[in-house]
């Protein structure tokens, strides 16, 4: 293996090393594990990568992400070496051109959620059940945190760098989940064209905090009516929504003969708001993404007119009001609903992640096993 090229620092003891990292601003505020040369080499060995191997490029920041830098930040985050292949796939995804890295500097504070599919989720013990959004599960917590620390330290994604989030994003501590693939439904990666036995990671950029939808009705349409209403009243943003369906709700849908595609189609058709409602919220035309040349004065734009109560704009379904409601960038992006089975096996709530509003598409990458565990695409 090639020599490591990162700078080396000496510390008197473990505590002194941690405090040194704090003073240099290399942590997200929580303690980290100092990366030693032996640990870095072990992580690279499992990944089957040389230190200088370029996993991804971020031209917007004029940065490259090498395997060595990933290993260092993974160690600091508390990862185990066997997490490295998954982390490599995550870096490949967030540095893909379609992810549009620069959007992470938005004042809306978006951040990527990592969704893991395939046998690797059970092999690594990634949580798909109770407390799926954490805390409490090492791989979920440290895998997501490793990507956050990596971008913090190597791509200026921090408040004193390019981050301009108005609120910040608690999901930066870690939003990494696995899907429960034990139901009759096809898991997400199969729907996206991968073999069921493949290990796959998907990243979806989302706003802070999942939207929790309470519903006590064990009827598919009534459950989805509540979800559609929340989607349409939340931000009225077009993009990819991650609908997190706990197993007990999945069984309701499956027993009634509903597929994930049926859920998607229902939400496309029913996630809507009247023009009158959108005007009341200041989301109509000039206030939310309307084309400048079609804007009227703000007062006239928001005036409710005859017929506005019975005319509807749709969040996901294309309609005649698309160019009034959505910017060209939002119209050009993919819009969809990813149904992911996860969460606790009791309770009366489902949840969804709201997509970032302007640019960025979900990116999916296979998790490739190259190193000590064999050269194969898992």
Residue 120 token pair: 């690797």
Question: At residue 116, what are phi and psi to the nearest 5 degrees?
Answer: -110, 130
Euclidean distance between CA atoms 139 and 183, whole angstroms = 23
pLDDT given at position 371: 65
Euclidean distance between CA atoms 314 and 325, whole angstroms = 9
DSSP single-letter state for residue 118: S
pLDDT given at position 231: 96
**Helix (H) or strand (E) segment spanning residue 29:** none
Using CA atoms, how far residue 325 sits from 105, 124, 142, 275, in Å, is 23, 43, 39, 10
* Residue corresponding to tokens 């009366």: 348
Residue 156 token pair: 């200026």
Alpha helices in 212-308 (DSSP H): 220-234, 247-255, 260-270, 275-280, 298-301
Same-domain check for residues 241 and 275: yes
Same-domain check for residues 38 and 163: yes
Longest dimension (CA), the chain: 75
Cis status, amide bond into 135, omega within 30 of 0: yes
**Tens of pLDDT, residues 163-190:** 889 999 998 888 999 999 999 999 999 9
Same-domain check for residues 16 and 113: yes
User: Do 254 and 246 form a contact (C-beta atoms < 8 A)?
Assistant: no
Euclidean distance between CA atoms 94 and 101, whole angstroms = 7
Residue 52 token pair: 């200088």
**Residue 99's closest CA among 151, 146, 28?**
151
- Nearest-Å Rg of the Cα atoms of the chain is 22
Same-domain check for residues 158 and 259: no
| Pairing mode of beta strands 63-66, 54-58 | antiparallel
Q: Dihedral sign, CA of 118, 119, 121, 124?
A: negative
Domains identified in the chain, total number: 2
pLDDT given at position 359: 83
Same-domain check for residues 26 and 159: yes
Euclidean distance between CA atoms 158 and 24, whole angstroms = 13
Same-domain check for residues 122 and 21: yes
User: Do 35 and 72 form a contact (C-beta atoms < 8 A)?
Assistant: yes
pLDDT given at position 216: 73
Same-domain check for residues 188 and 226: no
Residue 44 token pair: 């690279």
Q: How far is CA 213 from the centre of its chain?
A: 19
- Structural domain including 367 reads 1-206+363-378
pLDDT given at position 234: 87
Same-domain check for residues 338 and 367: no
Euclidean distance between CA atoms 123 and 280, whole angstroms = 50
pLDDT-flagged residues of the chain (< 70): 286-299, 371-378
Same-domain check for residues 30 and 52: yes
pLDDT given at position 374: 36
Q: How many CB atoms lie within 10 A of CB 302?
A: 18
Same-domain check for residues 201 and 262: no
Same-domain check for residues 187 and 305: no
Contacts of 46 (CB under 8 A, 6+ apart): 81, 82, 84, 85, 371, 372, 373
pLDDT given at position 293: 47
Same-domain check for residues 196 and 55: yes
Q: What are the beta bridge partners of residue 377?
A: 368
pLDDT given at position 299: 67
* Residue corresponding to tokens 């938005």: 106
């Amino acid at each position: 293996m090639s020599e490591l090229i990162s700078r080396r620092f000496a510390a008197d003891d473990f505590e002194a090393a941690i405090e040194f990292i704090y003073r240099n601003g290399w942590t997200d505020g929580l303690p980290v594990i100092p990366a030693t040369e032996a640990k870095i080499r072990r992580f690279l060995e499992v990944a089957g990568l040389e230190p200088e191997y370029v996993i991804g490029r971020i031209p917007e920041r004029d940065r490259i992400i090498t395997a060595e830098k990933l290993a260092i930040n993974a160690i600091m985050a508390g990862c185990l070496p066997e997490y490295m292949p998954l982390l490599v796939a995550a870096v490949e995804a967030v540095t893909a051109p379609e992810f549009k890295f620069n959007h992470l500097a938005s004042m809306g504070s978006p951040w990527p959620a990592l969704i893991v599919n395939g046998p690797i989720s059970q092999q690594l013990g990634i949580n798909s059940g109770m407390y799926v959004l954490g805390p409490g599960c090492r791989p979920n917590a440290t895998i997501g945190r490793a990507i956050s620390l990596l971008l913090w330290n190597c791509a200026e994604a921090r408040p004193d760098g390019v981050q301009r989030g108005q609120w910040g994003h608690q999901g930066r501590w870690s939003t990494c989940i696995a899907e429960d693939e034990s139901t009759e439904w096809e898991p997400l990666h199969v729907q996206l064209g991968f073999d069921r036995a493949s290990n796959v990671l998907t990243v979806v950029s989302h706003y802070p905090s999942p939207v929790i939808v309470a519903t006590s009705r064990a009827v598919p349409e009534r459950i989805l009516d509540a979800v559609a209403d929340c989607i349409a009243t939340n931000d009225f943003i077009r993009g990819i929504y991650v609908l997190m369906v706990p197993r007990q709700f999945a069984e309701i849908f499956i027993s009634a003969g509903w597929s994930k595609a049926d859920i998607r189609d229902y939400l496309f058709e029913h996630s809507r708001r009247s023009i009158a409602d959108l005007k009341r919220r200041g989301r109509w035309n000039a206030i939310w993404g309307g084309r400048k040349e079609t804007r009227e004065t703000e007062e006239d734009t928001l005036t409710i007119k005859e017929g506005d109560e019975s005319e509807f704009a749709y969040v996901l379904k294309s309609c005649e009001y698309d160019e009034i409601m959505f910017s060209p960038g939002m119209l050009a992006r993919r819009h969809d609903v990813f149904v992911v089975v996860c969460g606790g096996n009791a309770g009366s709530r489902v949840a969804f992640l709201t997509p970032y509003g302007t640019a960025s598409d979900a990116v999916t990458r296979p998790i490739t096993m190259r190193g000590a565990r064999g050269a194969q695409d898992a």
